[in-house]
Amino acid sequence: MIKLTFCLVRLPHLTREQFQHYWFNTHAPLVASVAETLQIRRYVQLQSLPPEAHAAIRASRNAPEEFDGVAELWFDSLETLAANSERAEAREAGRRLLEDEQRFIDLAKSPLWWGEERVIVGAP
């Protein structure tokens, strides 16, 4: 399994509540609607709690500003991702997702990367 991890920072004109509401109620259904086309096996949103909930732990590590949320998407393999780039319907689905992301995510401040999970504690 290959996972895309996307650390999201909201656009400056949105409150955290507006951002998370849009992400869960508008963007998530869009992802679900194209999941089969893009061969997404799992999609999870980690919505951040208010800053005061993690201020102490951030301070204890001199951590940077928190993200507004993290999206995790699982795919079968890198070959699956490469095949998506060859299929017009998958490219269109990806375009639709990016177009919607631009409505609520500050993409220039939101790192993302591909990785492979290595479970240390707990069953996969």
How far apart (Å, rounded) are the C-alpha atoms in residues 72 and 110? Answer: 13
Every domain of the chain and the residues it spans: 2-115
The radius of gyration of the chain from alpha carbons, rounded to an integer in Å, stands at 16
pTM of the predicted protein model: 0.89
pLDDT tens digits, 42-65: 999 999 877 777 677 777 877 668
pLDDT tens digits, 64-110: 688 899 999 999 999 999 999 999 999 999 999 999 999 999 999 99
Domain 2-115: give its CATH code. Answer: 3.30.70.100
